[in-house]
Structure 1
Amino acid sequence: MPAAFTPPARSRRQFLTLLGISAAAVSCGTATATNGSSGSSGKQITALKYQGNVGAVTLPELAADLGHLGNVTLEWVGNTISGPQDIQTAATGQTHFGSAFNGAVIKLAAGKAPIKAVVSSYGSDQHSYGGYFVLEDSPIRSARDLIGKKVGMNTLGAHYQALLDVYLSRNGLSKADAAKVEALVVPPVNTEQSLRQKQIEVGVLTGVLRDKALAAGGLRPLFTDVELLGPFSAGTYVMTERFIKENPDTVRAFATGVAKAIEWSRTTPREEVVARMTDIVKKRGRNEDTATLQYWHSYGVAETGGRISDKEFQLWLDWLGERGEIKQGQLKAADLYTNEFNGYGKG
């Protein structure tokens, strides 16, 4: 069994620097160079290195177990610590694909990393969503009430800070007032406790941690991401443009297989999906707790088969441009993704 991939801890400054990785740094990836011949010599790579998530089943893992990847196999190299870190390893060739919030994909692409999204990986719907919760007796009832307050989330400069900014903007706060809302990094496992002990006034809760916190009572949502934007696909699987060019059949098998897994997960009874995931986790033998799988409801992907559209990137292109993290007009949404290799629902 391969050893778990454990990247060194980094400060936010160092982390954002990594998102500005240069094209030169990703021009030759180790995974591509060491895992079979490229398409240019007639033989395509079919064993894909990737990172997983502890106690969870990713869409490619589900696709593989369902037999939807054809002759493509997966080679686990460890578990990721975050979405941006996951796509960084794909960009540098340590893995063949990675998944992250689309805003993080944009930032990596803006740093000249030659990557492209090939299929959606997660999103928000009525079952799987991120909520911004306050104590039940909190005086916070509106966006303006957040001025001067602390909002805890898993990381800064990513999905949940972006949604907070969108919420503040749509509810009429000026940039000056929005800047007075303090976003703080709070580990998800500590968010509920920090909120109840009033170390923060608002906490972002998702998945099993959200369900457990709500079951304990005393909390109410200020807003949720799905209320704010409607059902939407929030993240994508990306690969390098070089890998896509040299291994088109593999990419097609991967994207279409993931698409089929998305549709299987939403058309199959939830109990059957959870049972299948539990079996997958047990079979891989990584000594993981399967308890959290009982709280799984959906992957949240909005579009049929995870097919990508401009709107899934344009919102975050505008947000990053307004924040000055990328140049306005530097990137076009259509240049960040391709549906060419996703055969599910094509046309």
Structure 2
Amino acid sequence: MRKKIISLLLLLFIAFSLTGCAGNPGGSQAAQTGAATGNGKKLFPIRVAGDGTANGEVVIGNEVGFFREEGIEIVFTGVLKGGATELQTVAQGINDAFIGGHPYNVAQAIMAGIKVKAVAPGMIDDPEFPHVRYLVREDSPIKSLDDIVGKKVSQSSSTSACQDGYLKLYLKQHNLPLDVEWVKLPNPGQQEQALKQGLVDMTTSHPPYSGITVKQPGIRQVGTSYDIVKNPGAGLSVRGFSEKFIEEHPDVVRAFCRALQKSHKWINANQKEATAIIAKKLKVDNQDNVSVFRYEERGIIDPSYMELWVKLSEDINLWKPGAIKATDLYTNEFAPND
């Protein structure tokens, strides 16, 4: 009985820590198939959460054509909302792949009884393309991350191993009190607007909106996630499927991983073209105001990066030490050979 209660609480925690889903739970994969390659061969549909406008390698790679090259049709099922999470919709068969989130999201889902596995890396952290930027107003008394004690800091979810997680880690590393008022602002643009209006003292900002915000007059950057952790693994996101999907469609999973790696390499080498795609999707006139992530070009999920995330999550008390192992979260079985 106690285990059931813990699993239920973990599911509820995940539901509040991520954004929910509006995908149609009905219908089968076969009903969504229909697109074909140039030689008439049908593409395999992979359903994912979102509306095709998010800032990610699946959206960009889909636009460029890497998934079609691998025989895959990406089917966007709708923006997450309403309390369900991307990983839950994968478990329920609403979506096939999860394409957002970090290792800690996968860990929380697995501990809640959801049978999923990460199969490919996504973004990583980089000094020039930081995962998270910490921004304040130009006239703010905050000069460094040391000064956030007693201040209001915005975040997009109630608890995250990134965003506020990095800051909690920073405060712990520097023996500073965890006296910060976290203000949840989940919608795109809300955090930046609240900062400009003086409703919060600092915003935690991701691409693509951090690229817009940091260039606005009166905004100043005081730190990044890379400044805190100083490791590319700090930005690691992962992509994956349910264990059932992996077992039933191993060749599709392998093709998906190849398409992701192609997308990663192309985005890193073609930043201007990549940001142009995102700017068009977001209907931003000046693409110079949009930023994209730096992506892992190796096809494997780096074991040391996964260990870093598990340790980070333990350090900020997302779960107890030893509750889950990094090796429980992923497999490199389907990684491209190069």
* TM-score bracket relative to the smaller structure: 0.7 to 0.9
Q: SS of the residue aligned with 1:52? A: coil
- Distance of aligned partners of 1:136 and 1:92 in 2 relative to their CA distance in 1, 3 Å threshold: same
TM-score (norm 1): 0.76
Whether the 8 Å contact between 1:119 and 1:306 is mirrored in structure 2 is yes
Q: 1:222-254 CA distances to partner (integer Å, 9 max, x unpaired)?
A: 211122223334211121111111110000000
Q: 76-85 or 157-166: which moved more?
A: 76-85
Q: 2 CA distance for matches of 1:277 and 1:217?
A: 23
Find the counterpart in structure 1 of residue 105 from structure 2. Answer: 104
Alignment of 1:136-215 (within 5 A): 136-158=138-160, 159-173=162-176, 177-178=177-178, 180-186=179-185, 187-215=187-215
Q: 1:65-115 CA distances to partner (integer Å, 9 max, x unpaired)?
A: 424452222222112359982222122221000121222122112212111
Find the counterpart in structure 2 of residue 50 from structure 1. Answer: 48
Alignment of 1:266 with 2:259, yes or no, is no
Whether the 8 Å contact between 1:51 and 1:78 is mirrored in structure 2 is yes
Q: 2 CA distance for matches of 1:196 and 1:81?
A: 26
TM-score (norm 2): 0.77
Q: C-alpha displacement at 1:210, in angstroms?
A: 2.7
Match of 2:200, as an amino acid?
Answer: I
Whether the 8 Å contact between 1:55 and 1:290 is mirrored in structure 2 is no
Find the counterpart in structure 1 of residue 249 from structure 2. Answer: 247
Q: 2 CA distance for matches of 1:17 and 1:274?
A: 31
Find the counterpart in structure 1 of residue 239 from structure 2. Answer: 237
Find the counterpart in structure 1 of residue 308 from structure 2. Answer: 315
Q: C-alpha displacement at 1:308, in angstroms?
A: 0.9
Q: SS of the residue aligned with 1:254? A: helix
Residue from 329, 341, 344 that aligns with 2:322? 329
Q: C-alpha displacement at 1:271, in angstroms?
A: 3.1
Match of 1:104, as an amino acid?
Answer: N
Question: Percent sequence identity over matched residues?
Answer: 23
- Distance of aligned partners of 1:235 and 1:79 in 2 relative to their CA distance in 1, 3 Å threshold: same
Alignment of 1:71-110 (within 5 A): 71-81=71-81, 85-98=85-98, 99-110=100-111
Whether the 8 Å contact between 1:97 and 1:238 is mirrored in structure 2 is yes
Find the counterpart in structure 2 of residue 35 from structure 1. Answer: 29
Match of 2:165, as an amino acid?
Answer: A
Find the counterpart in structure 2 of residue 4 from structure 1. Answer: none
Segments of structure 1 that go 5 or more residues without pairing to the other structure are 1-11, 21-29, 37-44, 282-287
Q: SS of the residue aligned with 2:77? A: strand
Whether the 8 Å contact between 2:10 and 2:112 is mirrored in structure 1 is no
Q: 102-111 or 229-238: which moved more?
A: 229-238
Q: SS of the residue aligned with 2:71? A: coil
Residue from 258, 261, 283 that aligns with 1:289? 283
Q: 1 CA distance for matches of 2:145 and 2:129?
A: 24
Find the counterpart in structure 1 of residue 13 from structure 2. Answer: 16
Q: How many residues align?
A: 305
Q: C-alpha displacement at 1:334, in angstroms?
A: 1.8
Match of 2:49, as an amino acid?
Answer: Q
Q: C-alpha displacement at 1:183, in angstroms?
A: 1.4
Find the counterpart in structure 2 of residue 124 from structure 1. Answer: 125
Q: 1:9-37 CA distances to partner (integer Å, 9 max, x unpaired)?
A: xxx998515489xxxxxxxxx78x9335x
Find the counterpart in structure 1 of residue 35 from structure 2. Answer: none
Q: 2 CA distance for matches of 1:59 and 1:239?
A: 16
Q: SS of the residue aligned with 1:305? A: coil
Whether the 8 Å contact between 1:260 and 1:305 is mirrored in structure 2 is no
Q: 2 CA distance for matches of 1:262 and 1:227?
A: 23
Q: 241-250 or 63-72: which moved more?
A: 63-72
RMSD of aligned residue pairs (Cα, Å): 3.3
Q: C-alpha displacement at 1:155, in angstroms?
A: 1.3
Q: 52-61 or 255-264: which moved more?
A: 52-61
Q: 1:150-191 CA distances to partner (integer Å, 9 max, x unpaired)?
A: 111111211212111122122222xxx21x212111244132
Q: 135-144 or 111-120: which moved more?
A: 135-144
Match of 2:322, as an amino acid?
Answer: G
Q: 1:180-232 CA distances to partner (integer Å, 9 max, x unpaired)?
A: 21211124413233223332111112334333333332222221112222333
